[in-house]
Structure 1
């Protein structure tokens, strides 16, 4: 009886979680007439691909490509610079290391919306508004969360490995690249997944710093689909479906790593 009740609760929770995505798919393949004449949770008969064709004829493919490029660059930058910074905070000894780390980590308590305006003013003074540099630079060189995660993982590795490498004449860079990094694959995978998801879903900063088609990302492109008179829900859901497919694919192929990332971040 308890097992049956547990499965019923889990099924209800799964339905609530999946239902919004189901509505996106169903609405994306409905015509305007089917949207008004059928219930939201029922499919349109026959389904139509006109909405996807319409949205792919505009600037949406360019926004999708921009989002892929932004996500790839930010993920690569996070992995490289976060790893170097975390290794320095975890293993290298220098004056003021701990106060500097905890001061940097304290910035996690500041809401992102608070720093948007100062950050925009800095980018404006540097002439980086509506440029790729302005879009990427604030998040390219690591984040407090990423550095904290990697630092904790580095601190959990056996110190004997590093000491043995030093005896053999290896320097800090060699130790990091040839000994530490191969052992940090779970943490690197965690950081990569978190960065990909957050970069793909980023909206506020791209909306503020960019205004042209050359730097528009998919979240901003979807926001512009809302007209001043009304909303074309069929077109909006078609765009949402295109934006959703890569994230679903990542979850399907990397769900084991995603679960591991949840465990890892929870323990650390």
Structure 2
């Protein structure tokens, strides 16, 4: 009876894994096909022969997709740096510093997570237009370059779990609040910082609505908007679109492989606490 239950669990897990991975496998398979292969054969058939033609079209400048990749990488780096900097400082203030209304202010700030992102699009657009930042790189990144409520929440909960004795010992040695943050709290919080970094990169890398609204033309569009435009620009050339999605996913997978140990460790520690 026990082995039957175990077999059933594994079958359910394998089914879930297959349903999750199938779209990605199909995307990669299609990316290595020519348009003729895709049109004449089943979409589930393996590419025969394998071709890199679609990737060549994307990266040789004919579609300006390479520019979109560079813009996306630069925007993600700037957003990660800004959000980490301000979120870490805000989380430390909420976790370790005492001031009137600290907890009430934190929960008010956290409640902004309940506001749908689409509600903020028009006000943000009007602000960027008034500042003359429409269809610019700064208009693309500036609204999201500061602290994130979700990142602040994760970091605050982790900071609260750091032993107070370590903080007190640093203060006895003459460290001020900034020294404690930089020399004690941040080094001990590398797992959760890695997790926040990955979450921020993924959310900004996959952002579509705001870049679509604030950018026009090909000058400052990121990889998501560039991929969407390929469908209409090349009359539904799905092999080209799937090659673009493959290029968009590969950096995220590489990032996860680099940070997977820290992510698992931060989840385990946070769950234990």
- TM bucket by the smaller chain? over 0.9
TM-score w.r.t. the length of structure 2 is 0.92
Deviation at 1:172, TM superposition (A): 0.7
1:149–1:265 Cα contact (<8 Å) kept: no
Structure 1: gaps (5+ residues): none
Task: Find out whether 1:92 has 2:100 as its counterpart.
Answer: no
Aligned equivalent of 1:10: 13
Aligned equivalent of 2:73: 68
Structure 2: gaps (5+ residues): none
1:35-50 maps to which residues of 2 (within 5 A)?
A: 35-50=38-53
Secondary structure of the corresponding residue to residue 48 of structure 1: coil
Secondary structure of the corresponding residue to residue 246 of structure 1: helix
Cα distance in 2 for residues equivalent to 1:171 and 1:255: 33
1:248-263 maps to which residues of 2 (within 5 A)?
A: 248-263=253-268
Cα distance in 2 for residues equivalent to 1:27 and 1:51: 10
Cα distance change of structure 1 residues 97 and 205 upon mapping to structure 2, 3 Å threshold = same
Deviation at 1:174, TM superposition (A): 0.9
Aligned residue-pair number: 268
1:229-244 maps to which residues of 2 (within 5 A)?
A: 230-244=235-249
1:187–1:261 Cα contact (<8 Å) kept: yes
Cα distance change of structure 1 residues 174 and 249 upon mapping to structure 2, 3 Å threshold = same
1:1-268 maps to which residues of 2 (within 5 A)?
A: 1-57=4-60, 58-227=63-232, 230-263=235-268
Cα distance in 2 for residues equivalent to 1:229 and 1:244: 21
Cα distance change of structure 1 residues 24 and 52 upon mapping to structure 2, 3 Å threshold = same
1:26–1:43 Cα contact (<8 Å) kept: yes
Cα distance change of structure 1 residues 67 and 146 upon mapping to structure 2, 3 Å threshold = same
Deviation at 1:84, TM superposition (A): 0.8
Deviation at 1:108, TM superposition (A): 0.5
Between stretches 206-215 and 69-78, larger displacement belongs to 206-215
Between stretches 72-81 and 247-256, larger displacement belongs to 247-256
Deviation at 1:193, TM superposition (A): 1.0
Deviation at 1:145, TM superposition (A): 0.6
